[in-house]
Amino acid sequence: MKPPHSLWWATLDHPVTPRASLRRDIDVDVAIVGGGFTGLWTARELKRRDPALRIAVLEKSVCGFGASGRNGGWASALFPIKNDVVVARSGLDAFTHQRHVLEGAVRDLGEAVEEDRIDARFIQGGTLTFARSELQSSRLKDEVRASHELGLSDNDVRWLEVSELYDYGYVRGAHGAMYSPHCARINPARLVRGLSDVDEDLGVAIYENTAVTRIRAGNNVRRPQVLTIGGTVTADFVVRATEAFTPTLPGERRTLAPIYSLMIATDPLSASFWDETGFRDYATFTDGRHLTIYGQRTSDNRIAFGGRGAPYHFGSTVEERFEENPKAFHVIERTLRELFPTLEGSITHQWGGPVGMTRDLSPSVLVDFETGLASAGGYTGDGVVLSRVCAIAIADLLTSPSTETAHTRLPFVQHQGRRWEFEPLRWLGINMGIGLATWADHSERRGNRESRAAEWLHRLRQ
């Protein structure tokens, strides 16, 4: 399998040459299945705690092939679940602790890439959620007020009036925006490929073009194993870090649902365009609609822009052909040009792929000391920072299991969510959610009032 044809991969300094694949049986301390952010950060963190650990990373294509190398490039403190739902499930203290860890993790990621000398184009300019109607404005102002009631301050999230937007960024029809400083813009392919080189320098064995066919749990007489066509890896612990590709493994079809997200990129845009629209500090941006969109100003002055809306495929199927969706790409381009009507030039890149979504929308970190199996994932598109946070939690648990840390106290650590429903219920429910979000946005544009579909969507996500 080849790397995706995205803008991010096109910016790499050198063509990607796959590392050698596994061709023999090996014995290690920790085997990591998946060469994306979760797997590579886990290897880095384990090596920093104990340089003597023997660690192998097994990747079916090349490191960064999945969402880690093609995402929207938001390194944010965002969490897939709304604040009030986290409080309802885990309590205010747990929410506050989680918030502080995630906010600090944005800055910490920037320090980590600087320490490792990875040119990830990291700039922490915050994120803007534009209100493009009175209804969106009311909804986002309510969100700011609710956040403040939970202990956040203007230093964490605040409302910007239209007159303030020009210091940050502007899109057509903006009535204002919700702004948070806890987000950075990155180039994800440069980060993930740089991280793989760092791991290799630390002594991590990385095997690419090595497809895993099965993960076997350990027991009283056998250590856990990873089976591949080229050889078997026996380890004290096996960490599954396969995110949206998890359903391709035996027994994992209902663990995560692969949800497709697609992106486009423009030609480099003129200085006059950026003088008009702002984004001088490279804030990432979205708006208050129900169907997710996301964008950033790149280091070479393009707009990289993406969105959800592509259908979920029956049986949690993941195939390369699903990344080509002309209708969805057309909608994404049309939306981008609505936001920036003076945008000139053509679309130079389009790409996409799946992200992993759990049934309760919560990511999870799981370590089973009896079977030797561990896992992390379920980021629903917010994985750039969450993957590192989860990796630190796994490293803490594996190297100091009896010591509680800031990361092992997070409410999603050792959290086992329920599995997805059997088909066809899974297919019906997920695609119904996508349809409701699309319907809600369409209804609100026509009537500028809360859509009943939005209420149904909220209930479906509970």
Record: fold of 108-186+257-358: D-Amino Acid Oxidase; Chain A, domain 2 (3.30.9)
**Residues 284 and 74: beta-carbon distance below 8 Å:** yes
Q: What is the pLDDT of residues 125-171, one digit of tens each?
A: 999 999 999 999 999 999 999 999 999 999 999 999 999 998 999 99
Query: In the 8-state DSSP scheme, what is residue 159?
Result: E
Domain positions in the chain are 7-71+189-255+360-399, 108-186+257-358, 426-462
Q: Which fold has domain 7-71+189-255+360-399?
A: FAD/NAD(P)-binding domain (3.50.50)
pTM: 0.96
34-69 confidence digits (pLDDT tens): 999 999 999 999 999 999 999 999 999 999 999 999
* Nearest-angstrom CA–CA distance, 229 and 62: 16
Give 325-349 pLDDT, tens digit per residue. Answer: 999 999 999 999 999 999 988 999 9
> pLDDT (tens digit, 9 = 90+) per residue, 255-287?
999 999 999 999 999 999 999 999 999 999 999
CA neighbor of 348 nearest in space, from 10, 27, 110, 111 = 10
Q: Are 33 and 237 in contact (CB under 8 A)?
A: no
pLDDT mean across residues, the chain: 95
Domains 7-71+189-255+360-399 and 108-186+257-358 fall in the same CATH topology: no
The answer to whether 277 and 301 are in contact (CB under 8 A) is no
DSSP state letters, 165-191 = HTTTB--TT--EEEEES-EEE--HHHH
Burial class of 269 by CB neighbour count within 10 A (0 to 12, 13 to 18, 19+): buried
Token representation of residue 170: 């502007």
